[in-house]
Amino acid sequence: MDRDNVIFIGMPAVGKSTIGVIVAKRLGYRFIDTDILIQEEEGKLLKEIIKEKGIDGFLEVEDRINARVQTKRTVISPGGSVIYCENAMRHYKEIGRIVYLKASFETIERRIHNARGRGVVLRDGQSLRDLYDERTALFRKYADVTICEDGLRLEDTIRKVLEKLGAE
């Protein structure tokens, strides 16, 4: 299978879905938000799944659903915790280019008001800062392309993504 998909990774509130939809339109691609796939398949909101199954149970569901996304010419926006899902990330590396939308901790903190209410996967006693530091290393590990969006307007970020993908 060729790598003609684009997969966005990054912290919650970096704009994976917002930017993903616009990039998909500009490329003439489909768009998939895998959080919606998870909610549809499970028949529950993300925060309900986390409450019922716990974080590890949620990650198993997330890994399973993301690892079986079969598509071409599609922009995929998975949840931020997908980087803990080895099967899913291996699959995404095979079917597309992974774009890390990077933002400083200060930017993320400003954008997220209620992390748990958003369905952000935080373990007991884990702060948003701890989560940021833990995930940043994983985002870097998997990224084919990194776009730092600090100080950029939405349109500038989209332009940079398209340039890096060779589409602009």
The reported pLDDT for the residue numbered 122 is: 76
Residue 96 pairs in a beta bridge with: 5
For each of the domains in the chain, give its residue range(s) and CATH number, in order of start.
5-163 (3.40.50.300)
DSSP 165: T
Give SS3 for 39.
Answer: helix
Amino acid letter, 73? R
Residue with tokens 């895998």: 34
What is the model's pLDDT at position 121?
72
Question: What pLDDT sits at residue 117?
Answer: 61
At residue 1, the pLDDT reads 44
Which whole-number Å values give the CA distances from 27 to 45, 65, 111, 160, in the listed order? 30, 25, 27, 14
Give every residue of the chain whose pLDDT is below 50, as ranges. 1
How many residues belong to the chain? 168
Reported as a single tens digit per residue, the pLDDT across 23-54 is 999 999 999 999 999 999 999 998 899 999 99
